[in-house]
Structure 1
Amino acid sequence: VQALRRCGIMVDPQYIARGDFTFEAGSKAMQQLLDLPQPPTAVFCHSDVMALGALSQAKRQGLKVPEDLSIIGFDNIDLTQFCDPPLTTIAQPRYEIGREAMLLLLDQMQGQHVGSGSRLMDCELIIRGSTRALP
């Protein structure tokens, strides 16, 4: 949401559904979004597990992914390439995240000041079958 706002894109709060990163939370959030007067045509989930729950709920409601609804996850867990359709996802640099965390921890242990805030790292969009361009 922050990235969208930084790009000048306004986010309607009704299209933000929160959950606890579980399959069930993804399913429940998807139903909440589908119940809106104008449901979304695309959904970005904060985790692949939630995206799999959203995908399952969309199918239970009779929607075809990606024809009726595009779904994107975040994590690139192994299961995403085997679901139907295979899930488009964002791959995180897990090794680099772990390495950076360890370096920050070592700096703290050595008494160095470690500033708070975010560390931006490159990620990779892996396009699979759960998304399509709008006509």
Structure 2
Amino acid sequence: TIMAGNVVTGEMVEELILSGADIIKVGIGPGSVCTTRKKTGVGYPQLSAVLECADAAHGLNGHIISDGGCSCPGDVAKAFGAGADFVMLGGMLAGHTESGGELIERGGKKYKLFYGMSSDVAMKKYAGGVAEYR
């Protein structure tokens, strides 16, 4: 199984599926810790992206994962209703006792540290370092 992404248009979904991908990750900028939209001015409303991309993928027997934009259970239901085959969750689960991550305390409240996959932390941990263009 080949998974590719992240994209927000039906055209890119079609390109990836026709190039051999089975599952496409959909979403640019909707994650709870994502700063892509603020830093680059690039992004797309998640529900609109899922609607467009699911239609394109399902027409070619592909599948999509809605990646980001869920802050409550209703958002998960909306993603499935818009055609997502799977939904990725980060921020909704990050603060739970069962999740990994460092626990910190500030002002008497406990928090878990977590990060987005384009962050410096993730790049250093999984990609061998931060790209020089950043």
Superposition TM-score, scaled by structure 1 size: 0.37
Larger Rg: 1
Q: Please state which structure has a larger fraction of its residues in strand.
A: 2
Q: Structure 2 length as normaliser, TM-score?
A: 0.37
